[in-house]
A and B are shown apart, each in its own frame.
Chain A
Amino acid sequence: MADLKATAGQSGRSLAFFFVHVARMARLTGLSLIWIFVAPFKGKKLRWGVTFVQMVRIGVESVPIVGVISFCVGLIIAMQAADQLEKFGATIYVADLVSVTMCRELGPLITAIIVAGRSGSAIAAEIGTMKVSEEIDALQTMALNPIGFLVVPRLLAMMIVVPCLTILSDFVGIAGGFVLALTNLKLAFIAYFNETAGALYAKDFITGLVKSFFFAIIIAQVGAYQGFNVSGGAEGVGKSTTTAVVVSIFLVIFADLMFTMLFYSTL
């Protein structure tokens, strides 16, 4: 009985903590978005200089890795698809499969996962270290809001850069399919191109970008929230950084599920 009570108490507490985290993160996101969309009209400047630095760090510097991985993934889908479609003599449909999958799902998802690993963790570590060394407190005593000063430039940079990276990922992934089609499958360039162009609708492309925009918000906010939540020195920073990556990848995939249900289910 005592055991049962303890277990119930433990899980109840975990559940309560979970909701506390969700509520706090929602609050942080709300405040950040207010800083971006409302505060500038009240005379509080957005920090474009820092934002630009972050855009380079989050965006430009991950172009090579996003490119290489997307190319490989495009190639992989093409090979797997070709293997199945060959049975029906329909290898030309590789074009449809690769382009639609990349634009709707894999482009946004791969980009988000790479950015979460590279930059979500960096945001958590950076803010976490600042928290531990009292730099966040110092900001506050200088009447500088940590959200406006630290979170907003990173969030803004993410919101701009992640959709751009997603576009890159879409195109490079499709290019991967092209390479396989032209070399291994011996398909004509123009036939494959026409098939790709015919298979893609604006909706595929745009829903992917809409998703990636929200993924960007998730990654930046989870990173920032975990950073602010650090306690207990260097070990705490490490823990929060790991948590930031795990939680943001989970939330990205969960959000992807929700969006796919919204955009493509027959409901």
Chain B
Amino acid sequence: MNEPIIKIRDLHTSYGKRKILKGINLDIYPYETLVILGRSGCGKSTLLRHIIGLNAPDRGEIIMKDVDVTKASEEKRDEILKRIGMLFQNGALFNSMSVGENVALPLLEHTPQDKSIIKIMMRMKLNIVGLSGFEDFMPSQLSGGMKKRAALARAIAMDPDILFCDEPSAGLDPIVAAGIDQLILKLKTALRMTIVVVTHEMASVFMIADRVCLMHDGEIKFLGSREEMKKSTIPYVMQFLERRPDEDRLDPENYLEELVA
């Protein structure tokens, strides 16, 4: 495979005394779809926030296109950010703007194009996600799935090289969620992007992933293709695939002590 587009080296971070990421090493290659999988609280969203520069790590490097985003100057980081798109968990559309204005915003701010051209580009993006004709709607007038689609249109407005999605199917019914997954697949082939998806949905994983990265407790437990994952004998991977809950460890003596302490 060719040179990775994102290189993460020995990434550590913590909230207060709690360690969230314990030395993450990960390469993401151009044009692949990598799914970062893990249960709630395993640090997968935190990892994503670090990659896009919203949080700063305790130590470690994140090299995106030969620039270390953890140490880059604001100008350099802005240049990189203009080449990536991010789909937030709840869409994060600007509620004070219409859907069309939301999608057009990055174009208006970062491209010298004329307003009429930007309007056409905005309509194209809305068309791709299946929301033609909704440009004058306010985000509050849209359903959950439509909001995600609109947010996706905004994320791809600048034709990014890398698209990040945080829990794209969270809070959606299975049919709408599958629709979003399908859309991500369609975008991948149509726009040739590298896509990084954070999720805990196994269904999404088997639909869109080229490679899967399973995280647990701030560490990467497994990294490989879908098929490799299915065949894996790592206990935690098997537990995840079989949807087995953690075993309750009942220790009568400890329990008594905890209560009295």
Identify the A interface with B (CB < 8 A): 126, 129-130, 133-135, 137-138, 140-144
Residues of B within 8 A of A126 (CB): 96
Contact assessment for A134 and B92 in the assembled complex, using a CB-CB cutoff below 8 Å: yes
Contact assessment for B106 and A142 in the assembled complex, using a CB-CB cutoff below 8 Å: yes
Is there a chain A Cβ closer than 8 Å to B105's Cβ?
yes
Given A140-B54, A143-B110, A144-B109; A134-B81 close (CB under 8 Å): no
Closest 9 A/B residue pairs (Cβ): A134-B92, A143-B81, A138-B92, A143-B78, A141-B86, A134-B88, A142-B106, A143-B82, A135-B92
Q: Which residue of B lies closest to A136 (CB)?
A: B92
Cα A133 to Cα B110 with chains together (Å): 23
CB distance from B37 to the nearest CB of A (A): 21
Residues of A within 8 A of B96 (CB): 126
Is there a chain A Cβ closer than 8 Å to B2's Cβ?
no
Contact assessment for B81 and A133 in the assembled complex, using a CB-CB cutoff below 8 Å: no
CB distance from A243 to the nearest CB of B (A): 23
Cα A70 to Cα B114 with chains together (Å): 47
Partner of B81, one of A129, A130, A135, A141: A141
Contact assessment for B88 and A137 in the assembled complex, using a CB-CB cutoff below 8 Å: yes
Residues of B within 8 A of A144 (CB): 105-106, 109
Cα A145 to Cα B109 with chains together (Å): 11
Main secondary structure of the interface of A (DSSP, over half): helix
Partner of A133, one of B49, B86, B92: B92
Residues of A within 8 A of B93 (CB): 135, 138
Residues of A within 8 A of B94 (CB): 130, 135, 138
Cα A126 to Cα B94 with chains together (Å): 11
Q: Which residue of A lies closest to B94 (CB)?
A: A135
Cα A143 to Cα B80 with chains together (Å): 9
Cα A142 to Cα B94 with chains together (Å): 12
Q: Which residue of B lies closest to A141 (CB)?
A: B86
Residues of B within 8 A of A141 (CB): 52-54, 81, 84, 86
CB distance from B45 to the nearest CB of A (A): 11
Residues of B within 8 A of A129 (CB): 95
Residues of A within 8 A of B77 (CB): 143
Partner of A142, one of B79, B81, B95: B81
Q: Which residue of B lies closest to A134 (CB)?
A: B92
Cα A144 to Cα B82 with chains together (Å): 9
Cα A134 to Cα B54 with chains together (Å): 11
Could you write out 28 A-B pairs with CB less than 8 Å apart? A133-B92, A133-B95, A134-B88, A134-B89, A134-B92, A135-B92, A135-B93, A137-B49, A137-B54, A137-B88, A138-B93, A138-B94, A140-B53, A140-B54, A141-B52, A141-B81, A141-B86, A142-B82, A142-B106, A143-B77, A143-B78, A143-B81, A143-B106, A143-B109, A143-B110, A144-B105, A144-B106, A144-B109
